[in-house]
Structure 1
Amino acid sequence: MKKALFIFLALASIGLYGQSKDIRAAFRLDYYMEEPTAEFVVCLPEDSTYLGATVRLTSASGQTYSTRVEQPGGMVGLEVPIADLAEGAHRFQYAIQTDKGTVEGSAELKKLPYKFNAVQVDRKTGGVIARGMPLIPYGFYCYSPVQPMIQEEEVVRGFNLISPYQSIPGSDRKMRKVYMDRAAELGMKVNYNLLSVATAGTGYNRNQNPEERRQMFIEEIKAFKDHPALLSWYLADEPDGRNTPVEVLRELYQLIKSIDPYHPVSIVFMHYGSERKYIDCYDISMGDLYPVPTKPVAGVAQFQKSMSDALQLEKGIWLVPQSFGGNEWWTREPTAGEIRASVYMGLLNGSRGFQFFIRHGQNGFPKSTTAWGEAAAVALEVAEMTPYVLSGQAAPKVAASDSMVEARAWTRGKNMMVAAVNKENTPKDLVLQVEGWDFTGELKVPFENRTIQVRNGVIEDKIDALGSRVYKLEADPVLTASLDSLNVVDPSFEANTSVGVPNAVYAQVGKGRGSTYFVDSRTAHTGEHSLRLITHKNGEGVTLQHFPIIVDSARTYTLSFWAKAGAQEEFPQEKNYVNARGKVKVEKIRPVDPVVNVTARLKGRTLVDENFTIDSPQWKRYQVDVYVQKQPGKGREGITLNFRLDTRAMIWMDDICFTPKE
């Protein structure tokens, strides 16, 4: 990334006590496409030096925008309209003015043509945006050839990312297309490994002709840059441990960006401070500490905090949690608690992606199914927290009474989540104080199906050894579902007692492997949640049967629901697969609109059997009238309402109603 994209401000007035070295400023996204506005962000020191200051931003055409600093320290945002801005790079000048002087600098905004599979880095949060939605990638490294069952087994657990080690010179590209195509139709993303044709790592051949290697590097990027499963490029593995020259990686990074400016480049580091040395060589910095069992697992927190502090408002931050052990330098693998604590320590210290090293099914790595089950449990928790963690909104600080407990808050509208992690293998009394908060009342503990009473802004609870706790304050009426439970139980999918899955349904998975149904906290028609359905193959969707409906007889009801469609481009039209003889074949698949089959039955009699084409990427209401002649009984004697996404597609559903026709 060019240094113009991120500026450490220069002191323009000696009256600012030399604090300007602690100021950072940049546009929030590394590039923009069709967004109507762009947020310019300034990160100020955590003191009152700039309280009351004016932040002024001026475009090349002379248009000026300004805001006032209302809080001592932290992030200050300024919205800039960019709908009419031409594609290309645009230089903006800014000034931060106080009564004691002015700090000045410039920042670059990049605008690119729209591209469907684009992935943007959110510098304000350290996260990424894919398909216009916030995403915390959560997955694992794996081996090649990719085990044929591993993607479909792990996607249903909540994992959304894979990154296979692979030898590009030593294998057929068709095999790489197989796992990429499978990832796309399952809704997974790929951190694509380029090590074997980059500088070093798995599959790298030092004796290969450099020009041949470079050409392979270029061709591989061109082959997959438009693939719907592509999330990012994995350029280097621990270059700080291999003493890889900075200029070599910088040249490769710039080459990637010249071919594909739409996807971030990632590098993993093993030492403190390496992220600054290689600052011009990547967009996402990954940290792999691997402390178990020789060092305290608490070191993960400091390692990720150091990286996050060094790259704030500049790069994305990921963690590589350890999920191996028992040989080489590691006499054992992490426990379930150590895995949970590692992820939460990363999350609380700026990590916005998680790529475990390593997974080999079914219990190759890790050996412990209990430990891997915990990684999966945390995957669903992280997914639920995503719109809070990546909101970019200001949040109060949280203080813990125990120095070995870390805590942090995030906000979404007027709602708030507070997370805590115990860095020691000892249970503790948990006392948390939210800064500036005098709330007395009830908080949800969303991942434990309980509530807790808070008095005067102090949270008091217990926390397990190497455990985590998450609390939620629901105070925003905009984020509250408008439907009650009249007739349909949990009509808005807000009561996901087991995080990530809907409460009041039976799921009939059928013969297919890999079709999924998850409660999604990132988008909703009303409230905070909707139901995301992905069917990987026509005719192999999951059927969801709602809890039986009890209504009056001899009248007509309106069955309605809201839905929106994912893009057809999510699913490759040419699918590479391995046949029974081990040969790679290509199946051409015609794209189709999502079709949802809806049935309602009462005591074996079909009341409605209708197909709905979900034809809009925006929320749209669908409905059908249902006449109920005989009053249903209780329990299983009620009306059974079934939904099934029949076609190879992705949709979201919300607000299911069964109400008397007006």
Structure 2
Amino acid sequence: MILSRAREVTRAPIVCLMIFGAMAVSAVDAYEALPGRSFYTDEAVGHLVFVDLDESQDLTAPLTADVLLQGRLLVEGAPVIRGRQWSIAFPLASLPQGETEVTSRVFVEDRTLGQVSTRIRRLPPNPRAVKIDRLTGGLVVDGLPLLPVGFYCYSPVQPTLAEEEVVRGFNVMSPYQSNDPATRDERRAYMDRAAELGMKVHYQLLRVAGGGGVSLGTPADTSSVRREAWLREEVEAFRDHPALLAWYISDEPTGHGATPKQLQRSYDLVHELDPYHPITIVFVNPGKAIDFAGAMDLAMVDPYPIPNGAPGSVVGAVRTLVQDLSPRIPVWMVPQAFGGSEWWTREPIGPELRLMSWLGLIEGATGIQYFIRHGLSRFPKSPVTWSAASQVALEASALTPALLSTEAPPTVITKQNSGIRATAWRHEGQVIVVAANTENRPVPMQLELPDLTIQGDAEVLYEERSLAFDTGSGTPNPLDLLSVPLGLVTGILRRQPEAPEPTTAAITFGVVLEESMPPYGVRLYRLHEVGEAEDQLSVSPLNRTIDPSFEWDASASVPSALYASTGKGRGATYFVDDRVAYHGRRSIRLHTPRAGEGVILGPYSPRVDPLRSYRLSVWAKAAEGPEPPTLQLATSMGRTDSIRHELTTQWKRYSLDAMAVDGAAARAGLRLSLVTPGTAWLDLLEFYDISPHIVSNPSPDGELHVSMESFVRDAELRYAIDTEVTADSPLYT
């Protein structure tokens, strides 16, 4: 048996260099402590991440730690959190702006494991800041976790490339480009368009910082003095741009002779000019990456095995970087999305590309940047291959809360020599398991998760089926290996009055997942641990919408029970967002690039009765931006009614009341759209009858007893006995 603990790595000692968060560690110390983030701004709480704890120590007992600032205790005897990383939280209020040294002491029972110092950097708040979260290996962008999935491309950037790819789920692009001031307007144009679309740019400074990559633009005789001047100008021109994600300073430095010292100089200059964005290098030789540790904040690796090697060979490249650099320097993978000439006689097929991408994530990569995309079908040539990359982008986005979870991952055991690579992540009571078949043949898969106690079935994500367990053995029941549709039987998905009451889920101890895996196949599963927090927010029992809180994830990141009209614009998006929710675990994120170019959502049409009044309501909030976006709600029930609401950055309920006119269609047309530029999240979409319930009973003595009940709080009801009230009455117009 091969025992693999999810996301477990063996870390090499971290080289102490003059970078943010560098360590002062004595030889007798048994551990090191890293800042939990590359820098802090307005956070109230920071973290220290403990690495290289001495394996000879008995660390099964609880660990505690102190954190001190200039001899004064910030935290005393606090428990060390044994999550994805071992860490401790401490308050940041006492730390001034700039770099401050704090001291930490770790104890196991009554023994000390030593004392180390760590420099914490605090900067003034900046809405464009991109932070590295060392607790997860992910980025923090706009206050939310981000797992980048994007692509390299060429310059000049094709005018429609960004809008074609953002709707496929990609969130970052990285054009090879000149950094000549004479062509800066070209670069600003694509940066501005990326910002409009809500896309980020991994900005290349190769021509003026560290070299390598596709040769573009900078004359060979450009002096080092001129290159440095151009570097300064380029960083100053774009450091505050809303599309900027990171600075890319060198492409495969060992391939063209760039030295760590040279790149350290570029790194220091860029960080001096812009301390708010990380700096990256890509490596073709994984074993050399550690030599450049002082010149980067993020490391990438670009194994291109197809067709000269197996797709599973990318594992070694990613693993080497993760072992040598993580968690101080997170790792991204550059999967091969090209082929047909030079040393590669063909490009990867779709299953190979998806397999390589997920193998990178299994090994601990927290970002993906495909090499290379040139639309529509130059690189890669096959639409099927590029659709596999899009599939990964949508899957990684949907699973970001788990892939970037701070929680300790569960143990996963695979059969020896089975060709199956697997891991799991835990997040708020749910466990996401990924299994990847590295063989080009069907393989029987068996995964053991011995430490789990789960309730219910194992969901096979994005296949609309589940595996039911034999509760006696913890293995899937062979009679239940047929596809079991999930969408319409999950209680939270259909909040209809006729929905069946949920039944008590079976409990399974010690989980074994068994299925046949297709050649180069990747499967994703979701398990629910016993004790998973249940959503306590209510849905109106009168609600007529399907999937009101967008929990039905039949397809990754794509909402189920609605139509979408893209209108005249290009690049507007409407993805399910698992990072933000008011109700349940998900919301739908709308992004409108330009006024009038947003997507119009049309939820599944509910039935209505004529001359009845209905309410369309939704909870919504907007992202920070220069102007608050406007949400439009509309109904069509024989006539069109609409209302516009200016959103705020806080969750708030918005509604539209309308009547179904006599002779209207039996189904209502519902519409929601973000009509001005910006980003907004929508959740808990409801539609229900708000007509008053009126009962009139004449009595034998000639009196009329009228009972009126309203479903609208603070409503004013009127009952006329000597006239007919219509919707056109002056009382209501």
What TM-score, normalized to structure 1?
0.90
- Equivalent residue number for residue 544 of structure 2: 487
User: Which residues in structure 2 correspond to 1:53-68 (within 5 Å)?
Assistant: 53-60=63-70, 62-65=72-75, 66-68=77-79
Displacement of 1:629 in angstroms is 5.4
Q: Does 1:49 align with 2:58?
A: yes
Residue 191 of structure 2 aligns with which residue?
180
Q: Assess, with a 3 A threshold, how the Cα gap between structure 1 residues 69 and 61 changes in structure 2: closer, same or farther.
A: closer
Check the 8 A contact 2:428/2:533 in 1, yes or no. no
Aligned with residue 228 of structure 2, among 214, 218, 238? 214
3-state SS, counterpart of residue 468 of structure 2? strand
**TM-aligned CA deviation for residue 345 of structure 1:** 0.5
1:421 is the counterpart of 2:436: yes
The CA deviation at 1:474 is 3.5
Amino acid at match of 1:562: W
Aligned-partner SS, 1:179: helix
SS in 2 for 1:302: helix
1:362 aligns with 2:391: no
**Distance apart, 1:8 and its partner CA:** 8.3
Query: What is the rounded CA distance, in whole Å, between the counterparts of 2:540 and 2:26 in structure 1?
Result: 56
1:94 alignment partner in structure 2: 104
CA contact (8 A) 1:28 1:313 kept: no
Q: Report the alpha carbon displacement of residue 51 of structure 1 after superposing the two structures with TM.
A: 2.4
Shift of 1:279: 0.5
Tell me the SS of whatever aligns to 1:371. helix
SS of the residue corresponding to residue 644 of structure 1 reads strand
Alignment partner, residue 594 of structure 1: 629
Q: Show structure 1 runs of 5+ residues with no match.
A: 14-19, 570-591
Structure 1 CA distance, aligned partners of 2:45 and 2:373? 41
Show the 5 A alignment for 1:372-451: 372-403=386-417, 404-439=419-454, 441-451=456-466
Moved more, 27-36 or 468-477: 468-477
Q: Give, in whole Å, the separation in 2 of the partners of 1:480 and 1:367.
A: 49
Distance (Å, rounded) in 2 between the aligned partners of 1:433 and 1:156: 37
User: In the alignment, is the contact (CA less than 8 A) between 2:204 and 2:248 conserved in 1?
Assistant: yes
Work out the CA distance in 2 between the residues paired with 1:114 and 1:61.
27
Give the residue type in structure 1 aligned to 2:544.
N
Deviation, 1:446, is: 1.8
Per-residue Cα deviation, 1:76-129 (whole angstroms, up to 9, x for no partner): 221111135321111111122335553221111111000011100111222111
Secondary structure, aligned partner of 1:176? helix
2:533 to 462, 471, 477: 477
Give the 3-state SS of the residue equivalent to 2:72 in structure 1.
coil
Residue 609, structure 1, aligned to residue 642, structure 2: yes
Deviation (angstroms), 1:4: 6.5
Deviation by residue 1:452-478 (Cα, 9 ceiling, x = unmatched): 123241111222211111111245335
CA shift in 2, pair 1:531/1:11, >3 Å: same
Q: Give CA deviations for 1:501-534 in whole Å, capped at 9, x if unaligned.
A: 1111111111111111111111011111111111
Check conservation: 1:41, 1:78, Cα contact below 8 A. yes
Moved more, 354-363 or 624-633: 624-633
Matched residue, 2:607: 550
Provide the C-alpha distance between the structure 2 equivalents of 1:191 and 1:519, rounded to a whole number of angstroms: 24
Q: CA RMSD in A?
A: 2.2
After superposition, give the CA deviation of every residue in 1:321-378 in whole Å (9 maximum; x if it has no partner): 0001111111111111110111101101111111111111111001111101111111
Measure how far apart 1:68 and its partner are. Answer: 3.6
Amino acid of the residue matched to residue 639 of structure 2? R
What's the secondary structure of 2:388's corresponding residue? helix
Is 1:263 the counterpart of 2:277 in the alignment? yes
CA distance in 2 between partners of 1:61 and 1:10 (Å): 18
SS at match of 1:89: strand
Partner of 1:464: 518
Q: d(CA) in 2 for partners of 1:143 and 1:484?
A: 52
What is the identity, as a one-letter code, of the residue corresponding to 2:459?
K
CA contact (8 A) 1:481 1:528 kept: no
**C-alpha contact (below 8 Å) 1:563/1:651 kept by paired residues:** yes
Q: Deviations over 1:597-638 (max 9, x none)?
A: 111111x322x3111111x212111123334455976xxx31
Q: CA deviation at 1:657?
A: 1.5
For the Cα contact (< 8 Å) 2:633–2:655, is it kept in 1? no
Q: Which runs of no fewer than 5 residues in structure 2 stay unpaired?
A: 1-16, 475-509, 691-710, 713-733
The CA deviation at 1:61 is 5.2
How far is the alpha carbon of 1:410 from its aligned partner? 1.1
Q: Cα offset for 1:313? A: 2.0
Deviation at 1:306, TM superposition (A): 1.4
Count of equivalent residues? 625
Q: Deviations over 1:533-565 (max 9, x none)?
A: 111111111111111122455554432211111
Is residue 650 of structure 1 aligned with residue 679 of structure 2?
A: yes
User: Is the partner of 1:517 in helix, strand or coil?
Assistant: strand
Post-superposition shift, 1:482? 4.5
8 Å CA contact 2:407–2:426 kept in 1: the answer is yes
Residue among 318, 328, 341 paired with 1:304: 318
Contact 1:446 1:471 in 2 (8 A): yes
Q: Give yes or no for contact 1:484–1:491 (8 Å, CA) kept in 2.
A: no
Does the 8 Å contact 1:24/1:313 carry over to 2? no
Post-superposition Cα deviations, 1:279-335, rounded to whole Å, max 9, x if no partner, equal 000001000011111122212112111111111220121000000111111111111
- Residue 435 of structure 1: CA displacement? 3.7
The match for 1:164 is 175
Aligned counterpart for 2:41 among listed residues 33, 40, 51:
33
Assess, with a 3 A threshold, how the Cα gap between structure 1 residues 45 and 343 changes in structure 2: closer, same or farther.
farther
Q: Distance in 2 between matches of 1:254 and 1:380?
A: 35
Per-residue Cα deviation, 1:559-586 (whole angstroms, up to 9, x for no partner): 22111112224xxxxxxxxxxxxxxxxx
Match of 1:149 in 2: 160
| Equivalent position of 1:619 in the other structure | 651
In the other structure, the counterpart of 2:253 is 239
Cα distance in 2 between the residues matched to 1:480 and 1:142: 46
* Equivalent residue letter for 1:109: I
SS in 2 for 1:148: coil
Change in 2 beyond 3 A, CA 1:69/1:222: closer
The alignment status of 1:283 with 2:297, answered yes or no, reads: yes
Secondary structure of the corresponding residue to residue 298 of structure 1: helix
User: Would the aligned equivalents of 2:130 and 2:276 in 1 still touch at CA under 8 Å?
Assistant: yes
| In 2, Cα distance between equivalents of 1:232 and 1:4 | 16
Q: Which residue of 2 aligns with 1:2?
A: 18
Worse-matched range after superposition: 233-242 or 166-175: 166-175
CA distance in structure 2 between the partners assigned to 1:542 and 1:433 by the alignment: 44
Distance of 1:376 and 1:553 partners within structure 2: 44
How far the C-alpha of 1:11 sits from its partner, in A, is 4.7
* Residue type at the aligned position of 2:456: G
Residue aligning to 1:229: 243
Question: d(CA) in 1 for partners of 2:667 and 2:681?
Answer: 26
> Which deviates more, 545-554 or 531-540?
545-554
Q: Higher mean Cα deviation, 201-210 or 275-284?
A: 201-210
Q: CA deviation at 1:74?
A: 6.5
Q: TM-score, normalised by structure 2?
A: 0.82
Write the distance in 2 (CA, Å) between the matches of 1:229 and 1:448: 34
- Matches of 1:175 and 1:145 in 2, distance apart? 7
